[in-house]
Amino acid sequence: MISAPKPEYREFTAEIGQTSAEFDAVKDRLPRLFLLKNELIFHTRRTELRWIESVLADLHSGAMDWSRESPAELSLTLEKPDEHPDPEEHTS
């Protein structure tokens, strides 16, 4: 299903690496107050990348199925019981 990373993924990981290098280069020269926005962006992107990697790992391992059939199969296993059960079945 997933044969090779798309260019966007490689660009995303490269951007995180570049942002990390830039952040490391200035973090000791500027007060943190001036870096908060960049720090937030960097940590948000890094968290997004970790999440993407965990989803990809689950797809590759088979722990998660991503097919057209999977929602239909799931709906069959999660069918709701009757909302109005027969009262005769519950009398003793």
Chain segment 11-53, per-residue pLDDT in tens:
877 777 777 787 788 888 889 898 898 889 888 988 999 999 9
Look up the pTM and report it. 0.56
Name the residue ranges covered by the structural domains of the chain. Answer: 7-77
| Largest Cα–Cα separation, the chain | 79
48 Cβ contact list (under 8 Å, min separation 6) = 12
Element (H, E) at 5: none
Which residue type, as a one-letter code, is found at position 59?
L
For residue 85, the Cα-to-chain-centroid distance in whole angstroms is: 39
Percent of the chain clearing pLDDT 90 (strictly above) = 21
